[in-house]
């Protein structure tokens, strides 16, 4: 059996679908379905059983038997970087993860879990080392704290534990995340609904829309998870990004031009998009000042050294694929 926590969420549901495509259906889906819109993410997935997060946590705390478990993909977390309930975030992201860690290592069950590039804060170096880790909010701190907990135990482990630091992930099944959905999602919806895409004005030395992030397709994120599952002798903490930062302007242009192609309309350059009012710049939010990563770029040397050699989709290809799936499921609205 395979366990996927957060299995109805964004990355978890894409992972379920990929496991199904490989012929795996003996899956325990664990999630909190307090927001039932997530169920649409997994309605067409094949799983053997479902368990609520609270029940699952209680059972692993009591060390109850689940039968043979091949791997646990721990994707469940409170991922709202603007959340302010520190006690809840620490319990959900740190304490719960520690309990699951102890359950897995005591039974030699491989554990592959979701960490986050938010641990690097506003730094300019994105290498998996404590000197570069400076979280700006409680979410990032909860992720870093668990990474450090794992680091202290890695040398003595007899089973696989892998932490994957996701950079800016985008792709299908993120609609339920609302404000925390990717900019690729928001830009596409803005263009569908309003005929324009709104980007932040320049800040922190960057020009209008020129802030840069490492935007990574959920298809690539899933592929990395599955690669580590195939090689259980690999453990550690690894960045998961493309290794190349791109601008928000790049994402906005990719979203617009993908939609324009679907309408048989000509693609436009960035200056043309701005001049025609299809891209508009808005004031940078005051509440994000000092809490915003204006630049991220994954150093993926450790990931490559682990044996993952597949190429990553760039923004044009990845956002284009994403928009095609949006259009296939919802239409051009």
CB-side exposure of 105: number of CA atoms within 13 Å?
Answer: 17
For residues 50 and 116, give the distance between their C-alpha atoms in angstroms, rounded to a whole number: 26
Longest Cα–Cα distance of the chain, Å, equals 62
138, 84 contact by CB (below 8 A): yes
Catalytic positions are: 139, 177
Q: Which residues of 323-332 are buried (b: 16+ CB within 10 A; e: fewer)?
A: beebbeeeee
Among 102, 43, 53, 45, which residue's Cα sits nearest to residue 76?
Answer: 53
* Residues facing 72 on adjacent strands: 3, 111
Instruction: Measure the CA–CA gap between 253 and 255, rounded to whole angstroms.
Output: 5
Tell me which residue of 140, 141, 119 sits closest to 128, measured CA to CA: 119
Would residue 195 be called left, alpha or beta, if left means φ above 0 and alpha means ψ between -120 and 50 degrees?
Answer: left
Residues in contact with 204: Cβ distance below 8 Å, sequence separation at least 6, in sequence order: 211, 292, 294
């Amino acid at each position: 059996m395979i366990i996927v926590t957060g299995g109805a969420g964004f990355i978890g549901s894409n992972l379920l679908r990929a496991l199904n495509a490989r012929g795996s259906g003996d899956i325990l889906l664990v999630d909190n379905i307090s927001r039932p819109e997530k169920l649409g993410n997994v309605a067409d997935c094949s799983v053997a059983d479902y368990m609520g997060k609270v029940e699952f946590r209680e059972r692993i705390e009591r060390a109850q038997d689940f039968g043979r478990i091949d791997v646990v993909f721990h994707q469940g977390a409170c991922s709202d970087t603007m959340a302010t309930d520190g006690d809840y975030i620490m319990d959900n992201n740190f304490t719960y993860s520690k309990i699951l860690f102890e359950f897995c290592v005591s039974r030699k069950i491989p554990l592959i879990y979701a960490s986050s590039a938010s641990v690097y804060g506003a730094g300019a170096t994105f290498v998996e080392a404590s000197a570069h880790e400076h979280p700006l909010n409680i979410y990032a701190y909860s992720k870093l704290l668990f990474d450090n907990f794992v680091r202290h135990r890695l040398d003595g482990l007899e089973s696989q534990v892998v932490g994957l630091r996701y950079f800016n992930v985008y792709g299908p099944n993120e609609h339920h995340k609302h404000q925390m959905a990717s900019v690729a999602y928001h830009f596409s919806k803005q263009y569908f609904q309003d005929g324009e895409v709104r980007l932040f004005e320049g800040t922190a030395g960057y020009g209008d829309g020129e802030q840069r992030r490492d935007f990574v397709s959920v298809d690539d994120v899933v592929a990395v998870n599955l690669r580590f599952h195939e090689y259980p002798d690999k453990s550690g903490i690894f960045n998961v990004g493309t290794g190349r930062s791109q601008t928000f302007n790049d994402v906005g242009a990719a979203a617009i031009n993908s939609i324009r192609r679907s309408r048989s309309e000509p693609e436009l350059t960035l200056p043309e998009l701005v001049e025609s009012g299809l891209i508009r710049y808005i004031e940078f939010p005051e509440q994000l000042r000092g809490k915003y990563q204006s630049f991220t770029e994954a150093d993926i040397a450790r990931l490559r050294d682990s044996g993952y050699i597949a190429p990553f989709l760039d923004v044009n290809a990845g956002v284009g694929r994403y928009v095609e799936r949006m259009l296939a499921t919802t239409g051009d609205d």
